[in-house]
Structure 1
Amino acid sequence: MGQRPAGPVRVAAASDLKFVMDELAARYREQTGVPVQVTFGSSGQFAQQIRHGLPVDLYLSADEGYVFQLADAGLTQGRGVVYALGRVALIVPKSSAVALEPGLASLRAALPAMRAFAIANPGHAPYGRAAQQALERLGLWPIVRAKLVLGENVAQATQYVTSGAAQAGITGSSLALAPAVAGVTRSMVLPADLHAPMRQRMVLLRGAAPEAAGFHQFLQGDTARAALQRHGFGAA
């Protein structure tokens, strides 16, 4: 497969990157004049779509396992690099009586009366899997399971809480910190040892446009690292 003609760098990015990636894409265009077109969604769904020919230059996954699968299938340029570590956060509406405290005793007491608890779909969304793992280790999964509303990705799960459709949920810390979310909710980052490490990895796809390599390098630089940490990601 040869390189495609020059044009916007096409990026498929995990939905937890929504706010920081918009910022970085704009910054990169200011510096280089190269436009970056970013589509956000579930890491697992993107991996499946890439296998079926999704036209994309750069893939940023919330779970490095999907990158390795694509690399093993011969669809990437190498095995990529880790760009950040993901963290999950409990999120509740600002009006909620749930206190955000270590041990989550207040949440445990409030759960029986809740109608809905939102997480991303664990079947294909890394943040959904991390949420399930955290709830299991906290001993809350048996109660929460019957009340689950599943987002196709972590951004949709967050919207269920911000809209009032769910009374609580688990999201990515990067989304919980976003002004549009933080303005109507309260959140608490959960301990990292409650879930498997979320090593977020990116990789150039085979046949990517030449311009994509420049953006790939930019995302490994100091500007991008500082932005990722400011948006709630752990350092890679």
Structure 2
Amino acid sequence: MQNLRNELIKLIRKRSTIVLLGLTALIPLLTGPLVQMLQNRFGFTAFDGESFPLAILSLALTFYLPLLLALGISDMFAGEQEQKNLSFLLVRPISRFTIFGSKILCTGIYLFVLLMIICITSLITGAIWLENFTIQGLMLGIAAFILSWFPLMAIGVLFVFLNQWFGSSSKALTFSILLYLVMVVLTYLFPTVAQWLPAYDNNWYQRWMNSGFNLVSMGRSIYLLSWCAMFFTLGFYKFNQKEF
């Protein structure tokens, strides 16, 4: 737990983290008034208080959050290797598994915080600026954001694995983003192939809300768990073999 605490402190103390957290909060807060202005001007309703948070979530899942994940993970792994921070850390009597696991947990917490910031600010924006904001919509919005953590974390574990092959944060970030874009393109062009990739589950929350817990959702849950376990294991194996 001490090592996890240290990882979180390092993350919070970075100026880039504070800037990105602030930007994450600002995007929904600024988008709401803009949406209302456009809807009033053109006389139609594209988004209301219930649908606005889900629309923001959909955009964040497709583009924004994977980018922040890739950025944070590349800095946490390849970036620390590049700056020789891992060399000093490994001098201490801490196992490599503890270090690796702490960084994964830190990534999961960081991702959850990002989701909750977008959730809270988009719900506030929907309640203030847009019509038809209900308690049911509030609960659906919160559930959607919580459910979205799982497939995003699967993508994050893949990014962690990729980072073990690079000693430069910029190279790791570039390759992670390119690979994610390929997965997104495959989702639209070749959905049968894309079913084997975690980016296919960017609409994970929609399936749960539309169908609930059934054999399909249970199967995808098991698959994503297996994906995380596989790339966690492969990532740690590579991390354990590296010389820092």
Give the TM-score of the pair, scaled to structure 2. Answer: 0.25
Give the structure with the larger strand fraction.
Answer: 1
Larger radius of gyration: 2
Give the TM-score of the pair, scaled to structure 1. Answer: 0.26
Give the structure with the larger helix fraction.
Answer: 2
